[in-house]
Amino acid sequence: MRIALFLILMLTVLGADLNAETRARRGFAQDEGARYFNDYRYEKALEYFEKEIGARRDDAELWVKMAVAYYETGNATRAIESCKKALEIDPEYEPAYYCLVKYYLRKGYSGAAKSFYDRAMSVQTESAEGYYYIGMIILEFDASPSDAMPFFKKAIEADPGYIEAYSELARAYGVLGEKEEAKDVLSKAIRIDPYSSSPKRTMGELYHGTKEAIPHYLKALEIKPFDVRAHLLLAETYTALKEYEEAKNHCYEAINRNPYDPDGYYAIAALYAITGEHNLSQINMKKAVELYQEQGDQKSASRAAERLGSSLKELSSPDKEESKTDK
């Protein structure tokens, strides 16, 4: 029962963010900052981006890269400012709209999110990137895979090598229960680019919680060792299989790879609760609450705080004290 609850809680926290944000990574110059960015090493990437921006202040892509890096290192305010700067430069730049819709929703500002959603719908461009990000915006705002799928398909038609579009299309099929269609889409993506981690991780999600998922997640991590989401998905899967030490190892990896990501602390806290290590669970859940609040993700912060409160209440209950005395 506790394992099932853990998986439900984790999937709720990660939600569409598991692989949803491709972080506007297509087409970036392969400079040092971009390489760190593409490898999910956001703190290192920011060091380079903040040096570059002085000479590239009219580069909307760079502003969005900075926005993502700021958000992933706990600075939601700077992230939103950077996205708005990108839109001043290019009012039709869909990746900026996607990030703004996402960040405002996480902060609980649904009115602002709706405003940028409406603007994105009105300026959508007929390009592979444009179609892809409109699909992503629909997923983020409406949580409707069936409405997003046509845009991912259009992105692939416009650019048959757009690997992220294949991954999101497959994920949409998976959510709708069309597993064979999802596998076909991902197999095609892997044939096109066998060195991309995205379709491998998504293939793992189709088998999530089973032994069959593990090799797919591990293959994704061979390519992108700093992929925190892949580590957390592996932790969930190992937890479902009751391999708790392996699950803990991947939670630790997630935290070490990005100590600003609250999901890693939430995951290890929930896992410690399962294994009866309640003090460690509370310490890490408190950290998760702090980081969610710093990100401006009020919904997740409230969820983690509620979980923490329940844990504290359980430990202080008379029944719990009585059981300690009995021992």
Say how far apart CA 211 and CA 238 lie, in whole Å: 8
Say how far apart CA 117 and CA 130 lie, in whole Å: 14
Exposed, middle or buried: residue 306 (CB in 10 Å: 0-12, 13-18, 19+)?
A: exposed
In the block, residue with structure tokens 């926290």: 13
pLDDT at 315: 58
Residue 110 dihedral angles phi and psi, to the nearest 5°: -65, -30
- Least Cα distance to 270 among 7, 94, 63, 28 occurs for 7
Say how far apart CA 196 and CA 82 lie, in whole Å: 28
Instruction: For 134-155, write each residue's pLDDT tens digit.
Output: 999 999 888 899 999 999 999 9
Average pLDDT along the chain, 327 residues, taken 10 residues at a time: 47 41 42 88 92 90 94 91 96 94 89 92 86 91 92 96 96 95 97 95 96 97 94 97 97 94 96 95 96 87 90 58 43
Say how far apart CA 93 and CA 87 lie, in whole Å: 6
Instruction: State the amino acid at position 304 in one-letter form.
Output: A
Write down all domains in the chain, each with its CATH number in brackets. 20-159 (1.25.40.10)
The model's pTM: 0.80
Neighbour-count burial for 60-87, b at 16+ CB within 10 Å, e otherwise: bbbbbbbbbbbbbbbbbebbbebbebbb
pLDDT at 308: 87
pLDDT at 55: 86
pLDDT at 154: 96
pLDDT at 6: 46
Answer whether 140's CB lies under 8 Å from 98's CB: yes
Answer whether 98's CB lies under 8 Å from 121's CB: no
The DSSP 8-state label assigned to residue 16 in this structure reads G
pLDDT at 142: 86
pLDDT at 16: 40
Exposed, middle or buried: residue 35 (CB in 10 Å: 0-12, 13-18, 19+)?
A: middle
- DSSP conformation letters of 99-157: HHHHHHHHHT-HHHHHHHHHHHHHH--SSHHHHHHHHHHHHHHH--HHHHHHHHHHHHH
Say how far apart CA 164 and CA 22 lie, in whole Å: 7
- DSSP conformation letters of 152-172: HHHHHHH-TT-HHHHHHHHHH
In the block, residue with structure tokens 């259009």: 154
pLDDT at 15: 41
Exposed, middle or buried: residue 222 (CB in 10 Å: 0-12, 13-18, 19+)?
A: exposed
